[in-house]
Amino acid sequence: MPNDTAKVNIYGQLCRSYAIHIGNFNLANKYLDSVKILSNRLQYENGTIYSFFLQGLIYQESRNYKEALDDYEKASQYYLKHGDSMRAFNAVQGMAQIYGNQGDFEKSLELHFFMAEFFERKNALYLLAGSFRSIGNIFRKIKKYEDSKKYHNKSLAILKAQGLEASYAMGLQNLANVYVSTGDNGTALELYKKALQVIRLTGNKNREAFILTNMGYLFGELNQFQKAIEYQLEAVSIWNNLSQDYNAIESLDNLGSLYFRLKKYDKAESFFKKALPLTKEAGSKTVTAELYRELSEVYVAKGDYKNAHMYNSRFWMLKDSIFNIENAKQISELQTKYEAEKKDQQIILLAQEKEVQQKEAQRQASLKMHLLWDYY
C-alpha cells in the first residue's frame, strides 16, 4: 500500500488525467480536493504547492486564464526555490501557453524555446514534443506557416515513436489547422480524418469533440453543409455528456452560422440563443458581442426589425464596453511602463552620481598620497 505522501501524488495524477486527457473537470476538482485535504492533514508543503499547479492546470484547460497564471506563478516560484526544475518548467510551460492564447506571442515563444532547450538536455521527450507543438501553434497564429509545419512535424515524430496515441492524434489535428490556414483543405481534411480515427481508438471523448468541431468547421468552408452540421451536432452531444457545455459554444455558434447560410433562420436563432447564456457564464464578452451581432442579422433576415434593433444595440453597447476596458488596460500598461522606465532612469542617474562621487573620492585620495610622498 502506498504511504500517505505517495497518495498525494496518485491523487494528483488522477486530477491531471481527468483534466487533460478526459476533460472531466468535476472529477479533476474532486481529486484536487483530495490532494489539498491530505496535504493539509500531513502538513506536506510540497503537496500543497502541487495543488497550486493542479489548480492552474484545471483553470487553463477550462480557459480561466487569469487564475491559472496566478496559480502557475505560485507553483513555479516554489519549485525553483527548492530545486525541482522539472515541475517548475511544467508550470512555466502552462504560463507560456496562456500567454500565447492571450496574444502575447513574443513572450510565449521566448518561454517555449527556453523550455524546449531544457527538455532536450533532460531527454524529457514527451515534454519536448509538447514544447514543439506549442511553438508550432504560435507560428501558425503569426502566419509563419512553414515554421509551424516544421515544429508540428518534430512533435509528431516524437509522439509516434513514443506510442502516445492521444497526443499524436491532437498533433495531427494541429498540423491540419496549419493546412486550413494556408488554404490546403484537402491535406487538412485527410489529417483530420486520421486524427479522428486515432483518437477514437483511445476512447478520449474530450479530444474527439475538439477534432469533430474543427472538421465541422472545415466542411462548412467547403460548403458541405450536411456533413458540417452532423459533425458539429456530434461534438455538442459529447460536450453535453461530459458536462462541459462551455466547450460547446464554438460548435453551437458554428451551427447557427451554418443554418443562417442555409436560410433556415429559426434554427439559426435557436443555436445562437443556446450559445448565448454559456458565453455569459464563461465571462467571454467578445463572443457574447458576436452572438448579439449574429442574432441581429437573423432578425433582419426574418423581418423582425424590433428584435434586430435590440440585439444590434446590445452588440454596440458591449463592444464599446470591451473597447473601454481594453483602452483602460492599455493606458494602465503604458503608465506602468512609464513608471518603470522612470524608475530605471532614476537608478541610472543615481548610479552615475555615485560613480562621480567615487571618482572624486579616488582623486582626493590620490592627491593626498602625492602630498604625503612629496613631504617624505
- pLDDT for 1 equals 39
360 to 353, 367, 371, 374: CA distances (angstroms)? 11, 10, 16, 21
CA atoms of 60 and 183, how far apart (whole Å): 30
Alpha-carbon span 350 to 227, nearest angstrom: 69
pLDDT at residue 238 greater than cutoff 50: yes
pLDDT for 161 equals: 95
Confidence at residue 129, expressed as pLDDT on a 0 to 100 scale = 93
Residue 70: exposure state from Cβ atoms within 10 A (0-12, 13-18, ≥19): middle
Q: Quote the pLDDT of residue 330.
A: 52
Cα–Cα dist 110/261, whole Å: 42
293: DSSP letter: H
In order of 18, 87, 116, 166, 221, the CA distances from 211 in angstroms are 18, 29, 26, 12, 15
Mean pLDDT of the chain: 82
pLDDT tens column, 107-159: 889 988 988 998 898 898 988 998 899 899 999 989 999 999 999 999 999 99
371 vs 99 pLDDT, higher one: 99
Place of cell 459533425: 231
**pLDDT tens digits for 183-203?**
999 999 999 999 999 999 999
Q: Which residue has the higher pLDDT, 2 or 123?
A: 123
The residue among 266, 261, 254 whose CA lies nearest residue 303 is 266
Rounded Cα distance, 316 and 179, in Å: 34
Cell numbers given for 216: 465541422
What does the alpha-carbon distance between residue 76 and residue 192 come to, in Å, rounded to a whole number?
Answer: 35
Query: What's the whole-number mean pLDDT along residues 32-38?
Result: 88
Categorize the per-residue pLDDT at 5 as very low, low, confident or very high, splitting at 50, 70 and 90: confident
Residue 338 predicted with pLDDT over 60: no
Question: Which has more pLDDT, 197 or 356?
Answer: 197
| Torsion sign over Cα 200, 205, 210, 214 | positive
When comparing pLDDT for 98 and 369, which is higher?
98
Q: How far is CA 291 from the centre of its chain?
A: 22
SS3 242: coil
pLDDT in tens, 7-33: 888 888 888 888 876 667 788 888 888
pLDDT-derived band at 351 (thresholds 50, 70, 90) equals: low
| Position 285 confidence tier, pLDDT thresholds 50, 70, 90 | confident
Residue 262 confidence (pLDDT): 94
Average pLDDT (303-329) is 77
Which of 160, 102, 165, 108 is CA-nearest to residue 131?
108
Mean pLDDT of 275-291: 80
Question: Whole-angstrom Cα distance, residue 46 to residue 29?
Answer: 18
The mean pLDDT of 37-62, rounded to a whole number, is 85
Contact 111/138 with Cβ under 8 angstroms?
Answer: no
With a CB cutoff of 8 Å and minimum separation 6, the contacts of 235 are 209, 210, 212, 213, 216, 248, 251
Q: Which three cell numbers stand for residue 214?
A: 474543427
CA distances from 86 to 14, 55, 127 (A): 19, 18, 10
State the pTM of this model. 0.65
57/94 Cα distance (integer angstroms): 7
What the chain holds in terms of domains, given with CATH numbers, is 1-102 (1.25.40)
Give per-residue pLDDT as tens, 260-279: 999 999 999 999 999 888 88
